[in-house]
Amino acid sequence: MKVNKLDHICIAVRNLDEARKIWEPMLGKTAPDDAYVDEPEKIRVARYWLGDVGFELMESTTPDGDVAKFIEKRGEGVMLISVNVDSTREAVDEIKAMDYPMIGGLRQFRDCEFAFVHPKKMNGVLLEVIDYKWRELEVSKSSGNP
């Protein structure tokens, strides 16, 4: 499987607004570069660009969401690491052929797909593969924004 780059790192937090107050000064930011709610994933996200790698703070929107379950089990902290691939479908086929267990199937985000490799195979780390193209980051760079 060819990995293009580290795509993003996600930090699970109990309270997104409070976490932003802690992280933004350390990141040299005054607001997220991208803020959104992903209803199917039951999360509210603040994404910051650090170069071309995303740094995300994620808060669960429901008590039964994956982020809430993670925090209940492990506390706040790094929840997942994501790698960017050309095709999530092809990457998943390769991952399965190598006997790595997946969690669920393909999922949708904006105009891409992503999937998760089970943390029991990845030293306790939830690994995401995603084929998002991040065109908005390219536009931001071309306009001179950091």
47 or 108: which carries more pLDDT confidence? 47
Question: What's the CA dihedral at 119, 20, 136, 89 to 10 degrees?
Answer: 10
Of 82, 22, 18, 70, residue with least CA distance to 43: 70
Question: What is the per-residue pLDDT for 137?
Answer: 60
Residue 26 pLDDT more than 90? yes
Question: What is the per-residue pLDDT for 86?
Answer: 96
Question: What is the per-residue pLDDT for 146?
Answer: 53
> SS3 sequence, the chain?
CCCCEEEEEEEEECCHHHHHHHHHHHHCCCCCCEEEEECCCCEEEEEEEECCEEEEEEEECCCCCHHHHHHHHHCCEEEEEEEECCCHHHHHHHHHHCCCCEEEEEEEECCEEEEEECHHHCCCCEEEEECCCCHHHHHHHHCCCC
- Confidence grade of residue 132 (pLDDT, cut at 50, 70, 90): confident
> What's the CATH number for 5-142?
3.10.180.10
Q: What is the pLDDT of residues 61-108, one digit of tens each?
A: 999 999 999 999 999 999 999 999 999 999 999 999 999 999 998 998
Q: What percent of the chain has pLDDT over 70?
A: 91
* Structural domain spans, the chain: 5-142
Question: What is the per-residue pLDDT for 109?
Answer: 84
Question: What is the per-residue pLDDT for 134?
Answer: 66
Of 81, 80, 114, 83, residue with least CA distance to 5: 83
Question: What is the per-residue pLDDT for 133?
Answer: 80
